[in-house]
């Protein structure tokens, strides 16, 4: 899934957090003509992320999941583009603070396994993703019914709850 959304933070704030956070160990690996490559490590989980910092953008690649975040400035606004699995959206421990300016559910999914390159709102993507999971459970004899918190990114799941979008488990 690929999605873009405007964020509240400014690029210098995010860079400052990346370089000086207490949440992880930071190592500057390389500084070459307008690009600084940084590795941040979470010692508790043994995970790391590689970050490339440019003048107008930051690129974050998580090591285990291979999710990709690009934070960039366009027309004096700061945007985040995420490319990865739906349930991984903003769920990594090794991320600087990224606060969507509007509800994530109103953001456009620009590319996905469900719709290809057809643009849909994340709300619709989340609903259809849930329907697909339930279909698989019903038709492939999986023992789990309904949904679990791990089926949705926490921030997206919380937005559904705020909207009183309640998924009721099937009863047999």
Please enumerate in sequence order all residues whose Cβ is within 8 A of that of 26, keeping only pairs 6 or more positions apart, or say none.
Answer: 18, 19, 20, 38, 39, 40
> 142 with 136: CB under 8 angstroms?
yes
pTM above 0.85, yes or no: no
- pLDDT in single tens digits along all 172 residues of the chain: 999 999 999 999 999 999 999 999 999 999 999 999 999 999 888 889 999 999 999 999 987 778 999 999 999 999 999 999 888 888 888 999 999 998 888 999 999 888 888 888 888 888 887 777 777 677 776 555 555 555 666 666 666 555 655 444 445 4
Instruction: Estimate to the nearest angstrom the gap between the alpha carbon of 107 and the chain centroid.
Output: 12
């Amino acid at each position: 899934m690929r999605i873009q959304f405007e964020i509240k933070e400014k690029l210098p704030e995010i860079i400052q957090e990346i370089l000086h956070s207490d949440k992880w160990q930071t190592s500057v690996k390389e500084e070459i003509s307008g690009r600084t490559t940084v590795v941040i490590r979470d010692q508790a989980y043994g995970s790391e992320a590689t970050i490339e910092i440019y003048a107008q953008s930051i690129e974050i690649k998580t090591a285990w999941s291979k999710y990709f975040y690009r934070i960039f400035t366009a027309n004096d606004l700061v945007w985040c583009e995420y490319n990865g699995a739906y349930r991984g959206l903003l769920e990594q421990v090794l991320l600087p603070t990224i606060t969507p300016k509007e509800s994530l559910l109103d953001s456009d999914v620009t590319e996905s396994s469900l719709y290809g390159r057809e643009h849909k709102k994340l709300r619709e993507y989340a609903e259809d993703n849930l329907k697909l999971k339930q279909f698989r459970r019903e038709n492939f004899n999986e023992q789990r019914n309904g949904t679990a918190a791990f089926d949705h990114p926490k921030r997206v799941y919380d937005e559904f709850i705020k909207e009183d979008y309640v998924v009721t488990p099937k009863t047999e």
